Amino acid sequence: MPEREPRLVLPKMLGETITTYCPDPDDLLLSSLYRTHEWIIMERLSEGPCPITPEDFNQGMGSVSTTGTYLCRCIDDPGFDLAFICIYKEIPLDGTEFNNLENRKKQATIESFVELDALKKFTETECTATPKLLGYQINSQGVNDVIPRGYIIHLIFEKVRGEPLEFEEEILSKITGFDMAIEIDPEYEWTDINFVIYDLVLLSSNYEKYVPTANDITTDKYEGWRW
């Protein structure tokens, strides 16, 4: 029996507007970074539902959500270029999509939003290697939505180049995708071995003779870590 395709939940939303507000107008930093703006949806780019079964949920796999990516632009500030908006919406457990409202309401969860926390951290510390977070909203779904009182999050961040970095030319690339980010204790002492642990480097060319696929590895003239 062929595998069932995940059901798409989010609408196209073309021409619809979303307003983001400053989370704390009294905070000088937050009020300068996340001002109130109105955004209009230009195009839906993708949607990726991540369904899980009730059994998986009971074993601690967390909530179920779908992630939609859209292209948008700011209506009230022409100084902004096109931006991306990611919508994270809690959806019913697999097989319960047509259960009654009360049953689906019980599935609502409280989540910590890792990607939002990561983007906020990078933006507020002026990191230049990641897209700038332009605004965000954390809301609850309506009483007649797919998960009454379930979460729905809007993240808006700058549209940056997505081409792979070529060594022959200088390209300003930025890193995206932080839904599995982990904040490292600032007191933690970083050592070179962590580059290997987190797969950030290849082994030194001195160790290639111990690698079964050494002939498939492009070598260079440098010793030590190779990026």
Tell whether pTM > 0.85.
no
Do 105 and 149 meet the contact criterion of CB atoms below 8 Å apart?
yes
Which ranges constitute the DSSP H helices of the chain? 28-33, 54-58, 101-105, 114-124, 193-197
Q: What is the DSSP letter of 116?
A: H
Q: What is the pLDDT of residues 49-59, one digit of tens each?
A: 888 888 888 88
Q: What is the DSSP letter of 29?
A: H
Q: What is the DSSP letter of 211?
A: S
The pLDDT of residue 182 is 63
pLDDT, averaged across the chain: 80
Q: What is the pLDDT of residues 6-33, one digit of tens each?
A: 678 899 999 999 999 999 999 999 999 9
> Which is more confidently placed, 178 or 69?
69
Q: What is the pLDDT of residues 79-134, one digit of tens each?
A: 888 999 999 999 999 989 889 999 999 999 887 788 898 899 999 999 888 889 99
In the predicted structure, residue 211 carries a pLDDT above the cut 80: no
The pLDDT of residue 73 is 94
- Give the pLDDT mean for 140-145: 93
Q: How far apart are CA 197 and CA 26, in angstroms?
A: 41
List CB contacts of 126: < 8 A, sequence separation 6 or more. none
